[in-house]
Amino acid sequence: MKTDQIISPTDVENRKKLPISSGDTVRVWQKIVEKEINEKTKETKERSRLQAFDGLVIGRKHGAEAGATFTVRKTIDGIGVERIFPLYSPLIDKIEILRRAKVRRAKLYHIRDKAAKEIRRQMRNELKIKIPVPEQSETVLTEEKKEEASGE
């Protein structure tokens, strides 16, 4: 495990302010690196792709500190699947909040025992919002290109 990877300060600040709480329906885009080994030449190729995981946030731990995590649960073919995501992981590309629900608990562990129909009935949809993610690095790159073109 590499410990020398650094997340840029803008990502940390955006993730600190991200209002993820229990009851939110989120879509987490995670970078997946696939390695292919060519048996004839023994060369390895790495391909990366984005994989989405949609689900209900059932808990968040450790607030905004470095080890902060949130747990997302979804049901696939009647089987419940839970994933725990580190909030500041460089493998997480973006987090989209699809829907907010008003809940009365900080941890929704009781959802594990309920059917999907009961869960939908209990969740009161409060707001359907999309929080815009500022993409500062891309705008800076385009501004630099414009300045170079105008200087010629």
Each residue's pLDDT tens digit, 96-112:
888 888 888 899 988 88
pTM: 0.66
b (16+ CB within 10 A) / e for 82-94: eeebebbeeebee
Distance CA 71, CA 54 (A): 11
pLDDT in tens, 83-96: 999 988 888 888 88
9-151: CATH topology? SH3 type barrels. (2.30.30)
CB atoms within 10 A of CB 23: 22
Distance CA 101, CA 140 (A): 36
Give the start-to-end residue ranges of the domains of the chain.
Answer: 9-151
